[in-house]
Chain A
Amino acid sequence: MTDRPLVRMTGIGKRFGGVHACRDIDLTVTAGEVHALLGENGAGKSTLINVLSGVITEHDGTIEVDGEPVSFAGPADAQRAGIATIHQELDLVAGLSIAENMFLGREPRTRLGTVDIRRMRRQAEAHLRTLGADLDPRRLVGSLRVGEQQLVEIGRALSLRARVLIMDEPTAALADAEVERLFATIAELRRAGVGIVYISHRMAEIELIADRVTVLRNGTVAGTVDPRLASREDIIQLMVGRSVDALFGEGRNEPGDVLLDVRGLAVTPRRPVPGRTEPAGVDLTVRSGEIVGLAGLMGAGRTELLETLFGAGGSGRRVGQVTIGDRPYRPGGPRAALARGVAFVPEDRRGAGLMLEHSVADNVVLSALSSLTTLGLVRRPLLRRTVAEQLTTLAVKAASPSIPVATLSGGNQQKIVFAKQLLRRPRLLLLDEPTRGVDIGAKAEIYHLLHRLADSGMAILLASSELPELLSLCDRVVVLHRGRTVAMLPRASATQQAILAAANGDDVKESR
């Protein structure tokens, strides 16, 4: 590690309209350090990163690279200066191969001017090897898992000879095993002298890998601390400006009768989709008033199970028994599922949960329209009242129900998805990664909401790749491995080790 920073940002400020997105921010990145950037949504992280990566070109303050002042006219400039960004939503072309993606726009040429495919492959292979990834560079990116796609992005950054790598919530879409691999890669990069700006909402990760933590709040630096010296509470307090008591509520009601009973559920898809793991022997029960967690590695089939239970999975032959209440349950589609009192909050809230360009109100009422209409005509006053009530109940922060959902923060968007599903008054709520990309304040609110719903008698089945979330929130944890139930752990015996062991397919025979 050298003392001279690779990048020094001084007095960075940016206004959108009359509002300061960030103001007077100083940030340095030195070679071989992992500099974590923390802050709630809207604290100015994205703006700062966009300034550094050349997306925002007009701003206050100065940027120096290697002690030389620079000004970026666009992302390409920043890349040329050695600053690469790995966005949360990966910038890859699904229909092209790994090698083609890595060299997109700068393909090596042969003397005839055609693409030198062999050289491209060789170089891609070399980069992948550096990252410890055993992938064929000819594979289509669309066939890769998210974690693997991320490695391709990192490989692209390496091929650009990036010296500063900005990673925006790189673990948000990863299962724990893949997170470990990513961290190994980061350690490798750090040894090679790459400076890393690391954005995440997950405190545990930051304690694990960050050398320095800069906390942003309301567009300014609230403090820079050494995570080895500062406690988690200190950092959270810096973030939210107040101490967050009990993120996870306690004192739950006793669960009631079994509401959802799944026995030997397996689906043989008519057209198998690569990368999907359909249920292949799932047993589980959820009682009303109970929160049951669904754990498992990436590709263990958590999402697929929830989709099958919601009737939204692919078509195919189904075996096994599913009952809700005492009646058998075979949903033909989401409509039928909703009619039986089953609601689903999908993992991909932008892609599958919301109409981003449409208003808050339109999104909230979408699944409950039939209760708000007479003879097909929408009853506007009733609709307005319902939306207002729902927004108040969930404490959604929106200027008005008529603004587009896209303008809300991640946490508030997620609350809109909840609001929409809860309007149907479901008995069983299926949740897929409900707190992904949600800041810590909104996370706490969602946890409280889930407790409230469970206490009101709702049965909740929640898939999450964050083990601390499962452990603290759930009454029981069901672990899936390759589409099968491999463990059902009551709260008392559910530990990180036990879940991970089961998720990795180790032989665990806990109480069934």
Chain B
Amino acid sequence: MNPPNPTTVAASPPETPPSRRAIRLPKDRHAIVDNFFRFQSLFGLVAVFLIAIAVSPSRNGENVFLSSGNLANIVRAVSEIGIIAVGMTFVILIGGIDLSVGAVLGLAAVGSATLMVDSGLGIVPTVLIVLFIGTAFGATQGAIVARIGIQSFIVTLAGLQAARGIARMWSGGLGIPIAYGEGPQEAPEAFSLLSGSINGVLPVPALIFLAIGVGALLVLRSTAFARHVYAIGGNEKAARLSGVPVRRVRVTVFAISGLLAALAGIIHAGQLNQGSPNDGAGYELDAIAAVVIGGTSLAGGSGSMGGTIAGALLLGILNNILALNNIDANVQLVVKGLVIVAAAALQRLRPRIA
């Protein structure tokens, strides 16, 4: 049953075929409301930012939250989850989920430490090998999802276990500290750049996050690949019948997620100067939270990369301001939960069809 639709009836009288002029964005109240919901996470981000300024403690008359050191801390803290969330956005857009990213991060961190410290490899081969491992891991999961048709929740749940197991076997179950220097059992000095900042202001991980985020934003906006991603999430069957290479896109999307999780793992190792097989536990849930707060539908087919980036930043600011006010970490968790529910509730309010 079709609900009668005022827009179509009103906009073009049946006698005249739609002319070029008729084909424009409707500039009416619906569009405004629609845009509010589309950029909901951005509004949320601004609101949380303003609230944070208001409730921030001050030291020597200076707003602690707004201090450059604190802002740098926020973006640094956010960057790993943010990079993972970018990959997660692709996966969720096709209607899937990737629970393995936290474990892949741990595997990548262990890999980075082991390859440099124990195997004595340089930075470039280490990074390439680790990124390859992450990509291959993701692609394998994607292939299982696409070929055998098991739900991605299950496949990546299994992948999570497997990646953790591999990481533990590889590291002997212990964290591997990274010492820098020229000697044996020492990693190249340059790797420690990951814990540094550019001009002492912009942390390197944040810069990487920025680059990845902007890149993904552009990919999602203007590539045929992105349209295929949205199409599969919107209606897989219709996408397949329209000639979309559904399997290939699936595999690619999971490969991207694995690649970005591995990248986050390398950054993680560089920031903490060690690789532990337990690194990244629970990160997958934070990444999913960032995507959801960003307004991407878990059902697939709708959402945006900008939303995810805003969602990740929002979570970071929230954690930061609660910590600045010495609020108990457990309370922080509860607040985070409430924000996720609020974001999802706002999405429900969005007029389905304007």
Contact = CB atoms under 8 A, between A and B. Distances in A.
Interface of A: 16-19, 21, 41-42, 44, 46-47, 49-50, 87-89, 168, 219, 310, 312, 333-335, 337-339, 344, 346, 351-358, 362, 365-367, 369-370, 372-373, 376-378, 380, 384, 387-388, 391-392, 395-404, 406-410, 412, 420, 424
A467 to B, nearest CB: 26
B231 to A, nearest CB: 5
B210 interface: no
B8 A409 contact: yes
B126 to A, nearest CB: 30
A441 B231 CA distance: 30
A409 B222 CA distance: 29
B244 interface: yes
Nearest to A384: B23
A134 B303 CA distance: 48
B1 A397 contact: no
Nearest to B248: A335
The majority secondary structure among interface residues of chain A is: mixed
A21 B18 CA distance: 23
Interface string B229-251: 01100110111111111000000
B38 interface: no
A346 B241 contact: yes
A46 B3 contact: yes
Contacts of B241: 310, 312, 334, 344, 346, 352-353
Nearest to B12: A397
A105 to B, nearest CB: 21
B5 A409 contact: yes
Interface of B: 1-12, 14, 17-20, 22-26, 222-225, 227-228, 230-231, 234-235, 237-245, 301-302, 352-354
Contact of B353 (A376, A406, A409): A406
B12 A399 contact: yes
Given A18-B6, A355-B239, A399-B22, 17 more contacts: A46-B1, A312-B241, A333-B240, A334-B240, A352-B238, A353-B238, A366-B242, A367-B243, A373-B223, A377-B223, A391-B18, A398-B11, A400-B24, A401-B23, A406-B353, A407-B5, A409-B8
B8 to A, nearest CB: 6
28 contacts: A16-B6, A47-B4, A88-B1, A334-B240, A335-B245, A339-B243, A351-B238, A353-B238, A357-B301, A358-B230, A358-B231, A366-B227, A370-B224, A378-B227, A387-B23, A388-B23, A391-B18, A392-B18, A398-B11, A398-B18, A399-B8, A399-B10, A399-B22, A400-B11, A400-B24, A403-B26, A408-B5, A412-B8
5 closest Cβ pairs, A-B complex? A355-B234, A399-B11, A19-B6, A367-B242, A21-B4
B257 to A, nearest CB: 19
Contacts of B352: 357
Given A366-B227, A378-B222, A388-B23, A49 B1 contact: yes
Contacts of A410: 2
B186 to A, nearest CB: 42
Given A46-B3, A391-B18, A399 B238 contact: no
Nearest to B5: A407
Contact of A16 (B3, B237, B354): B3
A398 B18 CA distance: 8
B240 A369 contact: no
Contacts of A49: 1
Contacts of A387: 23
Contacts, number: 161
B5 A42 contact: yes
Contacts of B230: 355, 358, 362
Contact of B17 (A352, A370, A392): A392
B332 to A, nearest CB: 35
A50 B301 contact: no
A16 B2 CA distance: 13
A386 B25 CA distance: 17
A397 B18 contact: yes
Contacts of B9: 19, 42
A501 B20 CA distance: 50
Nearest to A344: B241
Nearest to B221: A378
Contact of B4 (A18, A42, A344): A42
B75 to A, nearest CB: 29
Contact of B22 (A46, A400, A420): A400
Given A88-B1, A366-B244, A410-B2, A376 B224 contact: yes
A351 B6 CA distance: 24
* Interface hub of A312, A346, A358 (most chain B Cβ within 10 A): A358
A68 to B, nearest CB: 27
Nearest to A352: B237
A403 B7 contact: yes
A508 B244 CA distance: 42
Contacts of A338: 243
A354 B239 CA distance: 8
B326 to A, nearest CB: 45
A362 B231 contact: yes
B26 A409 contact: no
Given A42-B9, A407-B8, A400 B242 contact: no
A3 B119 CA distance: 95
Given A312-B241, A346-B241, A16 B4 contact: yes
Contact of A399 (B14, B17, B26, B234): B26
B99 to A, nearest CB: 26
Contact of A409 (B2, B17, B25, B228): B2
Contacts of B302: 357-358
* Interface hub of A334, A362, A408 (most chain B Cβ within 10 A): A334
Contacts of A339: 243
B5 A377 contact: no
Nearest to B226: A378
Contacts of A346: 241
Contacts of B26: 399-400, 402-403
Nearest to A392: B17
Nearest to A420: B242
Contacts of A88: 1
B232 to A, nearest CB: 9
Contacts of A407: 5, 7-8, 353
B8 A373 contact: no
A365 B242 CA distance: 10
B205 to A, nearest CB: 28
Contact of B227 (A41, A354, A362): A362
A337 B302 CA distance: 28
A357 B347 CA distance: 14
Contacts of A378: 222-224, 227
Contacts of A41: 2
A62 to B, nearest CB: 21
Contacts of B7: 399, 403, 407
A59 B225 CA distance: 46
Nearest to B11: A399
Given A338-B243, A362-B230, A395-B17, A355 B6 contact: no
A63 B242 CA distance: 46
Contacts of A344: 241
Nearest to A404: B353
Contacts of A310: 241
